Amino acid sequence: MATLVSFHAHPDDECIATGGTLAAAASAGHRVVLVLATRGEEGEIADGVMELDESLSDRRVAETARAAARLGIARTEYLGYRDSGMVGTPQNEAQECFWQADIEEAANRLAEILAEEHADVLTVYDENGGYGHPDHIQVHRVGVRAAEIAKTPRVYEATMNRDAIKRFAITHQAEARDRGIETPFENPEEITMGTPEADITTTVDVRDFVDIKRAALAEHASQVDGNSFFLAIPVEIFRDLFGQEWFIRRGSSPLGQDGQPARETSLFGP
């Protein structure tokens, strides 16, 4: 069995981007370790879920512990940086935020965990962080460098399949609107987040684990309430949109018979 370390920016990101893959890996007997750069202190709080004396940081750590248990994660660690918020905000300029972190210092923190775990596989984000959030971009930069330091053999960039999102928007937009569900994909042809399908090397089928993924996501109630897009859409639509997870394998990729990169279906293949 192998050890998979999954590096993310904020609590709940592990569910959205890689939850099915993590659950599938744990179910197969692999050791799964979650590392979070921040505690998500700048997240927007869902209405009516916080206690008066409760800090968002503490709440999100507790939510992550419950989500991790659902996904089968064996160990969760935090690198100790503060949520950076968005570009242009005061939080993004704070010296303790992840966006302002020294890449080498942060990478060494992560590399220590990779070395402790004898990690076989590391997941980060694509170079744009999926949709451009500064902490997600920093996860890519720090994670790639940490893998170099720790000599982690397989590194995968979690991404979104831009073409699949467009197909989903075209297919399900009207249905979601009829149900009164606000979707983030109003103009399918203008979608630029993620990666073109042709550039994706690895597609993991997680349809058998989408119920676990959805339940884990629901544990992050301070961020994702029942009215959010992720939980408001019907189960069958959730399965259609989130039943696959996509990655770009860094470095050399095995070639298929046509001489092009082979399309992998697992992070643990040859």
Q: What is the pLDDT of residues 142-163, one digit of tens each?
A: 999 999 999 999 999 999 999 9
Q: How many domains is the chain built from?
A: 1
The model's pTM: 0.92
Whole-number pLDDT of residue 265:
96
In a domain, 264, yes or no: no
Look at residue 263 and tell me if it is in a domain. Answer: no
Q: At 53, which helix (H) or strand (E)?
A: none
User: In this structure, how many other beta carbons lie within 10 angstroms of the beta carbon of residue 124?
Assistant: 30
**Structural domain for 98, as ranges:** 3-249
pLDDT of 170: 77
How far apart CA 176 and CA 227 sit, in angstroms, is 13
Domain assignment present for residue 255? The answer is no
Could you give the CA distance from residue 90 to residue 46 in angstroms, rounded to a whole number? Answer: 22
Cα 2 to the chain's mean position, in Å? 20
pLDDT along the chain (270 residues), means of 10: 98 97 99 98 84 89 98 99 90 92 99 99 96 95 99 97 86 68 67 90 97 97 85 86 95 62 83
Which of 67, 16, 74, 64 shows the shortest CA–CA distance to 37? 64
pLDDT given for residue 258 in this prediction: 64
| pLDDT given for residue 190 in this prediction | 73
What does the pLDDT read at residue 162? 92
Q: Are 155 and 249 in contact (CB under 8 A)?
A: yes
Residue 239 belongs to a domain: yes
CATH number at residue 81: 3.40.50.10320
Instruction: Tell me whether residue 187 is in a domain.
Output: yes
Domain-embedded: residue 267: no
Looking only at the bridges linking them, the beta strands covering 154-159 and 244-249 are: antiparallel
Concatenated DSSP letters of 63-90: HHHHHHHHHT-SEEEEEEEBP--STTSG
User: What is the model's pLDDT at position 254?
Assistant: 56
Q: What is the distance between the alpha carbons of residues 30 and 12, in angstroms, rounded to a whole number?
A: 21
**Amino acid 203: pLDDT:** 96
